[in-house]
Amino acid sequence: MERVLGIGGVFLRSSDPDALSAWYRDNLGIGTDPSDPWQQLAGPTILATFDRTSDYLGSLSQQVMLNFRIADLDAMLEQLRSAGAEVDPRTETMDGVGRFGWVVDPDGNRIELWQEA
């Protein structure tokens, strides 16, 4: 059976694509220039499905939530707060998995941040 090797791209609709690209670049360090793509570190990627009525992904109109692995959840959340981002005040810890926090991008997309255990 052929298998997917990894995520090759993430594509988001936006009423202001340039501003949204700049937000991801400036706040999360993700390059958005196709000629200089973001190089992610090797690590686990989870594909999880949720019931259509789950609010875990944010608004019920949001069909997909990005989850980014990060080194220091507290530092990243403070960086995002300082930049004026909408940061969820709560975090969660899953034993053996790690810590999770959430931020909303300028277009209202909820993003999960994961500091591995």
The answer, yes or no, to whether residue 16 has pLDDT greater than 90, is yes
Kindly give the pairing relationship between strand 110-116 and strand 98-104: antiparallel
**Looking at the predicted structure, is the pLDDT value of residue 4 above 90?**
no
Closest CA relative to residue 103, chosen from 113, 117, 114? 113
- With 90 as the cut, is the pLDDT of residue 34 above it? no
Structural domain spans, the chain: 46-116
**The two three-digit tokens of residue 23, written as one number:** 């937000």
**What's the CATH number for 46-116?**
3.10.180.10
C-alpha triplet 113, 104, 51: angle, nearest 5°: 75
Number of helices (H) and strands (E) in the chain: give both, helices first. Answer: 2, 5
Mean pLDDT of the chain: 93
Contact 81, 73 (CB under 8 A): no
Residue 7 has pLDDT above 90, yes or no: no
Instruction: Read off the pLDDT of residues 62-109 as tens digits, 9 standing for 90 and up.
Output: 999 999 999 999 999 999 999 999 999 999 999 999 999 999 999 999
Distance CA 13, CA 21 (A): 11
